[in-house]
Structure 1
Amino acid sequence: MSNNQLGTKPHYQVLDGLRGVAAVIVVFFHLSEPLAASRFENVINHGYLAVDFFFLLSGYVIGYAYDDRWGKMTIGGFLRRRFERLQPLVILGMTLGAIGFYFTDSTIWPHIHEVPVWKLIVVMLIGYTVLPIPLSMDIRGWQEMHPLNSVAWSLFFEYIANIFYALGLRKLSNKGLACFVFLAGALLLHFAVTNPNGDIAGGWTLNAEHMRIGITRTLFPFFAGLLLSRVARPVYIKNSFLWCSLLLVTVLFMPRIGGEDHLWMNGLYEAFCIIVVFPLIVYLGSSQVMRTESKGRICKFLGELSYPLYMTHYVLVYFYVAWVSNHSGITLRQAWPYALLTFSGAAVLAYASLKLYDEPVRAWLRKRVKQSAS
């Protein structure tokens, strides 16, 4: 049976909305980041944990959508569906990043116009595959595996988690999966409290250290989400979208804990968020079906916008970062109008990307798959 014959299941509306809330926080985190003198001073200090929340949401949704379909679906069919969902915006983000590359004049990228066009094109084409580039091809100088669209590093690990799931981990019993999740959680906790930086930020560079961070950040939340989708029996929580959103905002906006003298305390806080708070949010968020059309439309809109916003916003953030770096010593009070303008532009770009590109391309891909299967 083809994938298109499998049908679709209803979405968890609150989880859709929470994905959008997390994506908005990621954008504001990236806008506040260049204004912070150090990792201890960012006003949205734990905004990067939204990526770990995305991983947990992804594992939950994958389990809900596909766990009971493997009798009718092949590994290739599953991966084709994930490719259809994820890859179009990967390609768009890389293309837009390449187009804007030479226009981000900045004191922090003085060499940018020395990069030959052929090298830019090669980096873009490799980026289309989500495969990481070696440091020798880092044309921006930030030691990133995707220098044209920074955020694509998380998609690399998202694909790895999906492949692990498809190739075998989906076959684990609930007890076996619980053991795997426990070990992954212990690995995450150990790294968080022993990391010399006092946090779990990382995963975007092609070296041993960041690969370890990326895998550590992916395994627990993704497969904890999968386990949660199997064993949780949610009960109805009134206004769960509101309460879950407030809880998510609170933990991501929490100031740095422990300072420079007790780095382990911040690591422990971040591990607690990922291991305890995020699963609780997803559990509570999966308990409510919207009873009013207006709230349902808000969650639907946020959910639809979340992935395009995440995958395209950094194209504009590069220009913002360049502007901040060219105005050394600028304060948050001075920068906020430009940050708000950048956010507004990112929201418009995301919506245009969704309606003019992502939805039409995915519809075309589904049609092609259906034709090839018939």
Structure 2
Amino acid sequence: MNTHAIDTKPHYQILDGLRGVAALTVVVFHIFEAHATSHLDQVINHGYLAVDFFFLLSGFVIGYAYDDRWHKLTVGGFFKRRLQRLQPMVVLGMIIGGICFYFSDSGIFPEIHNVPVWKLIVVTLIGCTLIPVPISMDIRGWQEMHPVNGPGWSLFFEYLANICYALGLRKAPKSVLTVLVVIAGGVMIHYAVTSKSGDMVGGWSLTPEQLRVGFTRVAFPFLAGLLLSRTARLTYVKNAFLWCSVLLLIFLAMPRIGGKETLWMNGLYDSLTIILAFPLIVYLGASGKVTGAAETRICKFLGDISYPIYITHYPFIYIYTGWAVDHRDAGLNETLLYASLTFVISVIVGYASLKLYDEPVRAWLKRKWH
């Protein structure tokens, strides 16, 4: 989830706003996921594709922000900038996850009652580095590479993509990048239409199958975003933020395509959404301009909170999922109350994390490292 370009270079405000729209959709998707019986009846059914949208945004903005900077930027300097931007919230997200894990008490996570405090601390500290833990160190029972804060898996692959960019992709000519995009797109389509679940869900476990999903999910969108940043000839699009937000929400909220007998249909939808729709949305968003003070404030707010919300919300989803499983007979009003409370808490914690921790820490790191 790349955010802003280098300080002295203007960034795309509408893309900031779209990242926030996607992040909030992820929170809602995860809340509804607690009530789903399978991928087939999940509400906001394709909300998981927001991660693929983040990867494409990251490739686009990384290319825009850094491609023309390497005459005065070292690889070490690039890594410092990425660490400065991403790592503080990774650490906080893991700490929040560890605290929530310690106080969790639900039948859906029976393993946590037998986890010693020292092991929780070790797993949390490892998570702060984003180094994946093997299945043998899983303390929750969901086989996540980051058991206290599951979404850390996408940041792990984000870092890998950034490393590949700094060590090689930044030098790749457009012809080579195009070939890589085509290959990655073909691999992604093949996986999506042949996968057991008929979708692009996965990537969070340190198993061969899940690692394949993770690498497949990051490869095409990041490469395509990078290529788009180098080849796009932008034009003016009126009301771009509104139209792009609507398009993004439509693709993320689309009901399941096909049923359990035709899983390949949904896989095809996933891959074509990532290959065709997301680059179009990014292109339109980059082509537009914010109009008026209100839209400017909205895009800035959504962009600012997008990453903090994304990386801190899931510990509260664990808690809500546990509540939902333990209270399957709860009425609609009670369920809506707890679901809304989970959403509001996620937004408040994300915003508070931004203002009270992320911005001050990044400012301190900037002074220290510059």
Indicate whether the TM-score tops 0.5. Answer: yes
Per the alignment, residue 361 of structure 2 pairs with 361
Distance 2:315 2:59 in 1: 27
Between the aligned partners of 1:121 and 1:260, the Cα distance in structure 2 is 41
Aligned counterpart, 1:256: 256
Q: Deviations over 1:103-146 (max 9, x none)?
A: 21111112313211111111011101101000011001111000
Once residues 330 and 241 of structure 1 are traced to their aligned partners in structure 2, the CA distance between those partners, rounded to angstroms, is 38
Contact map agreement 1:203 1:212 (CA 8 A) in 2:
yes
Q: CA deviation at 1:7?
A: 4.9
* Equivalence for 1:39: 39
- Give the aligned residue type for 1:357: Y
What displacement does 1:300 show? 0.5
Does residue 62 of the first structure (1) align with residue 68 of the second (2)?
A: no
1:184–1:333 Cα change, 3 Å: farther
Q: C-alpha distance in 2, partners of 1:62/1:106?
A: 41
Distance in 2 between the 1:193 and 1:38 partners? Answer: 18
Structure-2 separation of matches of 1:240 and 1:336: 32
List gaps (5 residues or longer) in structure 1.
1-5
Deviation at 1:318, TM superposition (A): 1.6
CA distance in 1, matches of 2:318, 2:226: 34
**Alignment of structure 1 residues 267-306 onto 2, 5 Å:** 267-306=267-306
> Residue type matched to 2:226 in 1?
L
Instruction: Confirm or deny: 8 A CA contact 2:185 2:220 kept in the other structure.
Output: yes
- The residue aligned with 1:352 is 352
The match for 1:3 is: none
1:25 partner SS: helix
Q: Which deviations, in whole Å up to 9, do the C-alpha atoms of 1:319-365 show, x marking residues without a partner?
A: 11111111125576652221111100111100100000000000000
Q: Distance in 1 between matches of 2:326 and 2:291?
A: 49
| Structure 2 contact 241–290 (Cα < 8 Å) conserved | no
Contact persistence 2:44–2:253 (CA under 8 A): yes
* CA offset digits 1:153-191 (Å, max 9, x no partner): 000000000000100011111111111111111110111
What amino acid is the match of 2:325? Answer: S
Cα-to-partner distance string for 1:51-78 (whole Å, 9 max, x where unaligned): 0000000000000000000111111110
Pairs within 5 Å for 1:6-155 = 7-155=7-155
Check 1:46–1:7 CA distance in 2 against 1; reply closer, same or farther (3 A cut): closer
Q: Which residue identity is paired with 1:153?
A: W
What is the deviation of 1:18?
A: 0.1
Structure 1 runs (4+) deviating above 3 angstroms are: 329-334
The separation in 1 between residues aligned to 2:298 and 2:268, in whole angstroms, is 34
Does the 8 Å contact 2:132/2:206 carry over to 1?
Answer: yes
Question: Residues 189, 333 of structure 1: CA spacing in aligned structure 2 closer, same or farther, 3 A cutoff?
Answer: farther
Contact 1:60 1:225 in 2 (8 A): yes
* Corresponding position of 1:164: 164
Residues 33, 42 of structure 1: 8 Å contact kept? yes
- The alignment's TM-score, normalised by the length of structure 1, stands at 0.96
Question: Structure 1 residue 184 and structure 2 residue 184: aligned?
Answer: yes
Q: Following TM superposition, by how much is the alpha carbon of 1:102 offset from its aligned partner in structure 2, in angstroms? A: 2.2
Determine helix, strand or coil for the equivalent of 2:40.
coil
Question: Is the CA contact 2:240–2:289 (under 8 Å) kept in the aligned structure 1?
Answer: no
Q: Using the alignment, how far apart are the partners of 1:53 and 1:344 within structure 2? A: 23
Task: Give 5+ residue unaligned stretches, structure 2.
Answer: 1-5
Give the corresponding residue for 1:213: 213
In structure 1, distance between residues paired with 2:329 and 2:43: 16
- Between the aligned partners of 1:242 and 1:329, the Cα distance in structure 2 is 39
Q: How many residues align?
A: 365
Q: Residue type of the partner of 1:60?
A: F
TM-score by length of 2: 0.97
Alpha carbons of structure 1 residues 250 and 197: separation in structure 2 relative to 1, 3 Å? same
Instruction: Confirm or deny: 8 A CA contact 1:35 1:330 kept in the other structure.
Output: no
Aligned-partner Cα distance in 1 for 2:29–2:334: 17
Tell me what 2:229 maps to.
Answer: 229
Residue 240 (1) aligns with residue 244 (2)? no
The 2-side partners of 1:231 and 1:333 are apart by: 51
Whether 1:319 and 2:336 are equivalent positions in the alignment is no
State whether residues 32 and 43 of structure 1, in contact with CA within 8 Å, keep that contact through their aligned partners in structure 2.
yes
**After the TM superposition, which residues 334-353 of structure 1 pair with which residues of structure 2 at under 5 Å, given as runs?**
334-353=334-353
